[in-house]
Amino acid sequence: MDDRQLLRYSRHILLQEIGIEGQQRLLDSRVLIIGVGGLGSPAALYLAASGVGRLMLCDHDKVDYSNLQRQIIHRTATIGQPKVASALAALREINPEVECVALPIRADEAKLRELIAQADIVLDCSDNFETRYAVNRVCLALRKPLVSGAAIQFHGQVSVFDFRRDDAPCYNCLFPEDSEAEELRCATTGVFAPLVGIIGTLQAAEALKLLMDIERGLNGKLLSLNALDMNILRSGLSKDPSCRACGESLLAARRVKQ
Ligand SMILES: [Zn+2]
pLDDT at residue number 178: 79
- The pairing of beta strand 231-236 with beta strand 146-152: unpaired
Q: Which among 50, 60, 57, 212 is positioned nearest to 119, based on CA atoms?
A: 57
How much is the pLDDT for 22? 98
Q: What is the pLDDT of residues 96-118, one digit of tens each?
A: 999 999 999 999 999 999 999 99
Instruction: Give the Å distance between the CA of 195 and the centre of ligand 1.
Output: 27
Calculate how far, in angstroms, residue 212's C-alpha sits from the geometric centre of ligand 1. Answer: 25
Confidence of residue 179 (pLDDT cuts 50, 70, 90): confident
Q: For residue range 36-63, what is the model confidence (pLDDT) as tens digits?
A: 999 999 999 999 999 999 999 999 999 9
Q: What is the pLDDT of residue 113?
A: 97
Contact 208, 26 (CB under 8 A): yes
- List active site positions: 186
Burial of 30 (0-12, 13-18, 19+ CB in 10 A): middle
For residue 111, the CA-to-ligand 1 centroid distance in Å is: 22
What is the sign of the dihedral through the CA atoms of 138, 143, 149 and 150? positive
Report the share of the chain in percent with pLDDT over 70. 95
Distance CA 196, CA 43 (A): 10
Query: How many angstroms separate the first and last alpha carbons of the chain?
Result: 43
**216: three-class secondary structure by DSSP:** coil
Contact 170, 245 (CB under 8 A): yes
Q: How far apart are CA 61 and CA 36, in angstroms?
A: 9
CA of 245 to the centre of ligand 1 (A): 5
Q: What is the Å distance from ligand 1's center to 67 Cα?
A: 32
Half-sphere exposure of 153 (CA within 13 A, CB side): 8
pLDDT of 186:
75
Mean pLDDT over residues 13-39, rounded?
98
45 backbone φψ class: left, alpha, beta (φ>0; ψ -120 to 50): alpha
d(CA 194, CA 69): 9
> How far away, in angstroms, is 153 Cα from ligand 1 center?
27
pLDDT at 187: 76
Using CA atoms, how far apart are residues 88 and 44, in angstroms rounded to an integer?
9
Residue-level pLDDT at 182? 73
Mean pLDDT of 192-198: 98
| pLDDT grade for 177, boundaries at 50, 70 and 90 | confident
CA of 174 to the centre of ligand 1 (A): 7
Task: Label residue 79 exposed, middle or buried (CB < 10 Å: 0-12, 13-18, 19+).
Answer: middle
For residue 85, which of 67, 101, 97 has the smallest C-alpha distance?
A: 101
Answer yes or no: is pLDDT of 249 > 60.
no
